[in-house]
Amino acid sequence: MKPPPFKYVQASSLDDAVVALAASGGDAKIIAGGQSLVPMLNFRLLRPAVLVDINRIPDLDFVAESPAGLRIGALTRHRTLETSARVASAFPVLAEAMTHVAHLAIRNRGTIGGSLSHADPAAELPMLALLLDATIIAAGSRGRRSIAAKEFFVGALTTALEPDEIVTEIELPRLPPATGWGFEEYALRRGDFAIAAAAATVTLGQSRCVEARIALIGGGDRPVRAAAAEALLQGRTPGPELIAQAARAARDGVDPDGDLHASAEFRAHLIGVLTARALEAACERAAGAGR
Amino acid sequence: MTDSHRVHICVNGTVHEHVVEDRLLLVDFLRDVLNLTGTHVGCEHGVCGACTVIVNGDSARACLMFAVQADGAEVETVEGLGRVDRLHPLQEAFREHHALQCGFCTPGMLMTGLDLLRKRPLASDAEIRDGLSGNLCRCTGYEHIVAALRAARKRIGEDRR
């Protein structure tokens, strides 16, 4: 239960960190908050030769307005997103989701860049990145590039990042006016990883659904958007029957695996129930916002 | 030769200078190097909360941080709270409300409670329960710990008036 030996490198700039990653020949790991990495080291599930600490790189911890919406630096802690007034006003669904991420002491340390790069299939932040159509900016030895959230999550603990790339920030495009949101999660205990969760936004125009977005976890090896359910809602006036149809479509669109925490059938059932609740909340808030 | 670094870490107001192996966990630095054994090691993977300390004003798991990362940091441990003859109000509340039995989780409970009440001096009962959700106790059933935090919250509120 102690980590195997490694060489610790403290990066003072992004260039520093990229050079250290490239020099290791794929045998280095970035440490930011360490809340997922250090347990894996302590269990010796990972044995990197080098740990590159990015905590002291300046200007990676910020929540800033941008022309398109909000930019959030990779070193921003979960706790900052949970308590940021900017996040609460632009993306209340994100602030709400953060309260479900583990516990206070974990949220104090865990970073958004770390959560996205780790890509745990049960983590809230990757799901929210997918819901909010985030663009993920990464820096590597071949320069910077932007990756759409829907292309970023490749599988369990697997992303589109190259071994020498680091997430530097994400950008979230502003939500249109008259948009409501809902977030529903089921976990066995407060702060545990989700068995399943659903997040939704609904944008109304003359009481019709202009756009609906639904993101899910617990349905597979990565967060997904419930495309069929979203399409059902498009252009129609949401009511109990339509929401029930969309929830069924969301449930039928996932193919979860069972494990010792929950069977596949229970997970699929939860996806349907949580989707319906998230959509109800989103529609109610959207109607309130449009009045 | 193992990789190591020289660090300066301020613990409860005293700066300690040591050369530490890169892989040394902060909790093992506190216990084995500084002999501050008040901070307990439970699960060693961030689940039980027994090793919770305060780093630069925020509660953190000392088993999920390396000592080398705490170079230049201010760390508060349970030893900084009070003394046997002069308990911290939070410790006093734990004593009054029977908020511990075996005491293994207590240092983590105290440091988590301290972070919570510093940030939310008027924390509701629900916020207290939520704030403590990351700390496991196998003895008390939690009710007495919640009661202790509630009493400490009240005391802090009265001190402010």
Q: Is B43 buried (19+), middle (13-18) or exposed (0-12) by CB count in 10 A?
A: middle
Instruction: Give B133's contacts in chain A (Cβ within 8 Å).
Output: 103, 189-191
Q: Which two tokens stand for residue B159?
A: 């001190």
Is B7 near chain A, with CB under 8 Å?
A: no
The nearest alpha carbon in chain A to B134 belongs to A103
Which top CATH class is A7-53?
alpha beta
Instruction: Give B127's contacts in chain A (Cβ within 8 Å).
Output: none
Do β-strands B58-61 and A208-217 pair in parallel, antiparallel, or remain unpaired? unpaired
- Within chain B, which residue ranges are assigned CATH 1.10.150.120? 89-160
Residue tagged 């980590």 (tokens): A3
Do β-strands B4-11 and B74-76 pair in parallel, antiparallel, or remain unpaired? parallel
- Whether residue A245 contacts residue A279, with contact meaning beta carbons closer than 8 Å, is answered with no
The pLDDT of residue A1 is 80
Report CB contact under 8 Å: A102, B134.
yes
Name every residue whose Cβ is closer than 8 Å to that of residue A230 and which is 6 or more positions away in sequence.
A212, A213, A214, A246
The minimum CA-CA distance between B157 and chain A, rounded to whole Å, is 22
The pLDDT of residue A10 is 97
Q: What residue ranges do the domains of chain A occupy?
A: 7-53, 63-173, 179-290
Q: Is B136 buried (19+), middle (13-18) or exposed (0-12) by CB count in 10 A?
A: middle
Q: Helix or strand or coil: residue B17?
A: strand
- Whether residue A171 contacts residue A266, with contact meaning beta carbons closer than 8 Å, is answered with no
- The pTM is what? 0.95
Q: Which two tokens stand for residue A180?
A: 């409501």
Q: How far apart are CA A181 and CA B20, in angstroms?
A: 48
Q: Which fold has domain B89-160?
A: DNA polymerase; domain 1 (1.10.150)
CATH ID of A63-173, from 3.40.50.450, 3.30.465.10, 1.10.10.10, 3.30.2130.10: 3.30.465.10
Report CB contact under 8 Å: B59, A105.
yes
Among A43, A55, A191, whose Cβ lies nearest the Cβ of B133?
A191
Q: Which fold has domain B4-80?
A: Ubiquitin-like (UB roll) (3.10.20)
Q: How far apart are CA B157 and CA B161, in angstroms?
A: 7
User: Do you know the residue count of chain A?
Assistant: 291
Distances (CA, A) of B11 to A105, B5, B44, B57, B76: 18, 18, 21, 12, 6
Q: A179-290 maps to which CATH number?
A: 3.30.390.50
The nearest alpha carbon in chain A to B70 belongs to A55
Report CB contact under 8 Å: A38, B63.
yes
Report CB contact under 8 Å: B25, A3.
yes
Report CB contact under 8 Å: A8, B133.
no
Per-residue pLDDT of chain A (291 residues; tens, 9 = 90+): 899 999 999 999 999 999 999 999 889 999 999 999 999 999 999 999 999 999 999 999 999 999 999 999 999 999 999 999 999 999 999 999 999 999 999 999 999 999 999 999 999 999 999 999 999 999 999 999 999 999 999 999 999 999 999 999 999 999 999 999 999 999 999 899 999 999 999 999 999 999 999 999 999 999 999 999 999 999 999 999 999 999 999 999 999 999 999 999 999 999 999 999 999 999 999 999 866
Q: Which helix (H) or strand (E) holds B4?
A: strand B4-11
Among B21, B28, B59, whose Cβ lies nearest the Cβ of A108?
B59
Q: Which residues of chain B have pLDDT under 50?
A: 161
Report CB contact under 8 Å: A79, B64.
no
